[in-house]
Amino acid sequence: MATSGDFLTAFAYHSWDSKDSKDSKEKIVIIIDEFDEIYNVSVGIRDSCLSTFRVARNLNHLYAIDSIITCGTFNLLHLTTSNLRVSPFNVDFSIRNPYFTFKDTQTIFGKYAQDEGIEIDERIVQEIFHNSNGHPGMVCLCGKAIHIELRPGIDGSQNNRLDYRTWTEFSTSKLQEHIGSYKTFRRMVDALMTDSAVEAVDLLRRDFLGRLGPRLVSDEDRKEADFLAAEGVLLERNGAYFTASAYIDMFIRRYVIPKKYPQCPSSIIPIEQEDHQDRLDVLATVKEALPFFDKVLISQSHARSYKKSGKAIMVDGVFNKRVPRESVYDGELSRILSSWLGSEGTYNITGQWHLMDVDNHRYADIVIQNNEEPTVVLELLATSGQASLLEHIKRVISYKSLLSEGKPHKAAKAWVIHFTRQDNYLKGPFWPNMEQLWDVNVVHIWHDSAFMDVRMSARWYDGGGVYHAVDNRAVDV
């Protein structure tokens, strides 16, 4: 069928020669999958399609169509024609595909493992559910990735078991590529990269990336939030919006934000020597990234993406001052590193990477990976006190242990990066003890409200095991 006329002729009653009388004529149901693709065609074709459906409905006695069921993203509810003479395309019933519960997810992977005669580490199932938020398509995509990429290597392994370490290595290096190859998520990227989506992506970047919890939006931002919900990026519940899942957050950070906001260094990636091998110089990399932080985004964060400095931390001469949230720095550093280090496939940058130990779900802010080098994990903080810093130092040491599991010769490197607005902080910053510094390097980065005056202090061991210290050094931004 190439035209609307072909469609109407095909489903007209006179085309169904098995019917002897009007009373015996049976109706059919048409099911159209991925109908949201209609937004990608010209207005003329879209109008023709919807007008044809309207004709079949208005002259129902002439056609063998009982109903039309379309499947697609939420924006189908707003589908209509540009022709005012044609009645709006009304949706009689809207059914949202229910998300899986954890029990559903367990059952699916349990039956798969049983059919394949293998065992899957329970932590893998927990992580997939936690990171996907139970999204059916994402859960099944993870299962398909396991079957294609990891299942062949299980035969003959110990106890025919897919262990958590194997899944961890795969999920950080290749899972995002599988998600990116899936048609639904490619369409998501295409939609967000259009010129008409600029304000929506600005809202996403400013208010949601790196924050998985619910957030209320203003009336002026509701249109953009609804667009993001229509594309599957956000979910709406009781008037509040939140990122659909941790996987979506990671996916957007990798495939949308660096392309939408590509500003990054053009210089050669900083390298240091470790055991006569080239390794990423993390501190130099962070320092070169700082001039490319979005100064407008940071200076305006006091109104949109802020936290209070608290009763014990003075900023600009006052306590409880609004300062940028951790997600602001996290999003900017992740964006710049993805555009710079990941532009040629040299490094894989993962933001908000989910780790899990026996009882806890944890997120490492930024993970940098290269097949030839140790993994680097960056833990970020925003204008924090000593207790919070110490907690993050202990946490990143735990991350480092998980990331180093089974890799004695490529143990992970860990950095705590503390962005702060606290007055005179670099005159007496908090440092971990020397034993902790052997496991985690620390840099404090102070800046003014406009991100025009930036200074840093750091304590770290380089790749050769040599201790270094930098105090209150100005950074040219």
Residue-wise pLDDT for 15-38, tens only, equals: 665 555 455 567 889 998 888 778
Candidates 355, 350, 413, 415; CA nearest to 172 is 350
178 to 136, 246, 338: CA distances (angstroms): 15, 15, 18
Q: Which residue has the higher pLDDT, 462 or 148?
A: 148
pLDDT value, residue 59: 87
Quote the tokens at residue 372: 């030839």
DSSP letter at 156 equals T
> Is residue 145 a contact partner of residue 124, using CB atoms and an 8 Å limit?
no
pLDDT tens for 202-229 read 999 988 988 888 989 999 999 999 889 8
Render pLDDT for 389-418 as a digit per residue (tens, 0 to 9).
999 898 888 878 777 766 655 667 899 999
Band (pLDDT 50/70/90 cuts) for residue 276 is: confident
Structural domain boundaries of the chain? Answer: 4-78, 102-181, 183-252, 267-475
Integer Cα distance of 347 and 359 in angstroms: 30
One of 1.10.260, 2.60.40, 1.10.10, 3.40.50 is the CATH number of 183-252, namely 1.10.10
Which percentage of the chain shows pLDDT scores above 70?
Answer: 87
Using pLDDT thresholds of 50, 70 and 90, give the confidence band for residue 170.
confident
Rounded CA-CA distance 278/475 in Å is 25
Query: Which pTM was predicted?
Result: 0.77
E strand or H helix at 380: strand 373-382
Q: What is the mean pLDDT of residues 433-450?
A: 92
pLDDT by residue (tens digit) across 348-399? 888 766 555 544 556 668 889 887 888 899 999 999 999 999 998 988 888 7
Helices (H), 276-325: 282-289, 295-299, 301-304
Q: Is the C-alpha dihedral spanning 259, 263, 266, 268 positive or negative?
A: negative
